[in-house]
Structure 1
Amino acid sequence: MNRKRLIWVPLIIFAVLALVSIIGLTRPNDPTIRSHLIGEALPDFALPASQAGKPGLATADFRQGRPRLLNVFASWCVPCAAEAPQLRQLAEAGVPIDAIAIRDRPADTARFLARYGDPYARIADDKDSSVQLALGSSGVPETFVIDGKGVIRHQHIGDIRPEDVPGILSALQAAQ
């Protein structure tokens, strides 16, 4: 009888570990993964363009006097597709949005943009995630509000949902 009960021990241990992992992955607003650069200037970078017909992206692009969004995304990212309607809504409202495509192939990024829309003024290619990591970004998607002097004012971790749009607009207004 004891031997039959022992068979369940590994399954119970696995279930507990799986539950802990799922809880940890579904809490994107955990403050331990926030960028340490909020309130600081963007790190210096210059990335090449990801898409023909669109410029690349550099730190200087964020020092033009007007707040902008910086969206970190990838074509292979399912939540990135989920936030596409909200990014289009923000762009249609006149919000300037730039993007960094992470560890992506330009052809895959082009297919993603053709399918979900392209709200971006600039799209940079960060093949090795070096700029993403320098920003303190821990995954995709993430969106940063950058003020007109190039200072990071707000970080939104995870996909932008309809209920998040007013907060993003408020953060942009505060960054004026």
Structure 2
Amino acid sequence: MSEAPQKSPGPANRRSWLIFAPLLLFLAIAGLFLVRLFAGDASLLPSALIDRPTPTFALSPVEGLQDVTGLSNQDLAQGHVSVVNFFASWCVPCHQEHGVLMQLAADPTLQRAGLRLYGIAYKDKPENIRQFLNQRGGNPYAAIGNDAKGRVGIDWGLYGVPETYVVRGDGTIAYKFIGPLSDESLRETLVPEIKKADLGHHQF
């Protein structure tokens, strides 16, 4: 008794695979993104804004914070290197890195070089921001802009909080760090990037 010949996949089967091709491609790209995101090397996620001027923005101050002004892109082009940190009270890693930011703001060498640390509160409420700063030991920021709707974060290409940017004195973005800063990343990554962004104007 002869076996019945096997049927080759028809056009209908091939079309069904083509339907899923975009989904498979999306999953592959998303998987690569997640692997890089959690690999511990923030530099693996590039920013299209590197070496370009900071986006134009003007943010009001956080209501109820005494003697803390808002923030605009003009504040980042005053001839000194700036560090801009996106944070939120609801962000657990932001609580973890806050002590590192306090160290950065208090560094006497960086202070003498004119470094300014600025904060942008991302999608947060003023009362929660105030409570966060009080509970975490103080405010390290020279100014804080309230990005309540998250519009400025989008313009900066924010992946999520926390994120930290090094901005040259002419207002161009020199470096982007994704994720919470640690003592190690501050010492081995961020401070060297700050010194590079200074373009030799100051002696560290």
Per the shorter chain, which TM-score range? Answer: 0.7 to 0.9
Q: Give, in whole Å, the separation in 1 of the partners of 2:130 and 2:44.
A: 33
Q: Could you tell me which amino acid in structure 2 is paired with residue 150 of structure 1?
A: G
CA shift in 2, pair 1:144/1:25, >3 Å: closer
Q: Contact (CA 8 Å) 1:74, 1:140: kept in 2 or not?
A: yes
For residue 88 of structure 1, give the secondary structure of its aligned residue in structure 2: helix
Matches within 5 A, 1:11-26: 26=38
For structure 1, which segment, 50-59 or 136-145, has the greater mean C-alpha deviation from structure 2 after superposition?
50-59
Whichever residue aligns with residue 61 of structure 1, its letter is D
Partner of 2:126: 106
TM-score normalized with structure 1 length: 0.82
Pairing 1:124–2:132 present: no
1:111 CA drift (Å): 0.4
Find the residue that maps to 2:164 and give its secondary structure. Answer: strand
Shift, 1:97, TM fit: 0.7
Q: Is 2:53 the counterpart of 1:41?
A: yes
Counterpart of 2:80 (choices 60, 66, 74) is 66
Structure 2 residue ranges without an equivalent (≥5): 1-30, 199-204
Choose from 147, 150, 164 the match for 2:185.
164
Report the structure number with the largest CA radius of gyration.
2
C-alpha contact (below 8 Å) 2:36/2:44 kept by paired residues = no
Choose the corresponding residue for 2:166, options 134, 140, 145.
145
> C-alpha distance in 1, partners of 2:174/2:195?
11
2-side partners of 1:22 and 1:146: how far apart?
27
Q: Is the 8 A contact 1:28 1:157 kept in 2?
A: no
Distance change >3 Å, CA 146–CA 24, structure 1 → 2? closer
How many pairs are equivalent? 157
Q: 1:92 to 1:32 in 2, by over 3 A?
A: closer
Matched residues in 2 for 1:88 and 1:136: separation?
A: 25
Residues of 1 paired with 2:34 and 2:178: CA distance? Answer: 17
- Aligned counterparts of 1:144 and 1:122: Cα–Cα separation in 2: 15
Aligned partners of 2:76 and 2:167 also within 8 Å:
yes
Structure 1 vs Structure 2 CA RMSD:
1.9
Asked if 1:97 corresponds to 2:117, the answer is yes
* 1:35 Cα offset (Å): 2.0
Contact kept, 8 Å, 1:43 with 1:134, in 2: the verdict is yes
Partners of 2:134 and 2:50 lie apart in 1 by 32
State the alpha-carbon separation in 1 of the partners of residues 42 and 175 from structure 2. Answer: 15
Identity of matched residues, %: 34
User: Is the 1:143–1:157 contact (alpha carbons within 8 Å) kept by the matching residues of 2?
Assistant: yes
Distance 2:95 2:104 in 1: 15
Distance of aligned partners of 1:24 and 1:165 in 2 relative to their CA distance in 1, 3 Å threshold: closer
